[in-house]
Amino acid sequence: MAEILSAKCSCCKKPGIAQCDGCTNGFCSTHFREHRHYLDTKFAQLLHDRSILPHQLVDHSSKIKQAQLKALLHDINQWEEQALKSVTQTAERVRNR
């Protein structure tokens, strides 16, 4: 994560004690601890997001399936109404001959 540094802290310009390998900024001891805490917090959030992602995908997939099912049922209902209307009209025509 860090290496010994002779440059100044990127936050306060005091002499730096370490450089972050990720962002390449130099830090004094105070700001290095703060930067490390920030990275730890971001990493914990990333792990949390990763752990809930499968559940979110299942929920999203379920919602899509429900929406598709609703659309299909709507189409079936329309088809049923049209079919019944057609049968009724045909029966009326035959009766009226």
Give mean pLDDT, residues 52-63: 88
d(CA 54, CA 60): 10
Give bridge partners of residue 4 from the DSSP assignment.
18
Tokens 């290496």 correspond to what residue? 3
Distance between the two ends of the chain, CA-based, in angstroms?
92
Domain count, the chain: 1
d(C-alpha 87, C-alpha 80), whole Å: 10
> How confident is the prediction for the chain on average, in pLDDT?
90
pTM value surpassing 0.85: no
Each residue of 28-53: pLDDT tens digit?
Answer: 999 999 999 999 999 999 999 999 99
Q: Give pLDDT, residue 61.
A: 87
Cα 21 to Cα 7, 25, 26, 44, 68, distances in angstroms: 14, 8, 9, 19, 48
Tell me the C-alpha distance between 17 and 6, whole Å. Answer: 7
What range does the domain containing 40 cover? 2-95
Answer yes or no: is pLDDT of 4 > 90. Answer: no
Using the predicted structure, report yes or no on whether residue 80 has a pLDDT greater than 80.
yes
Residue percentage of the chain with pLDDT more than 90: 67
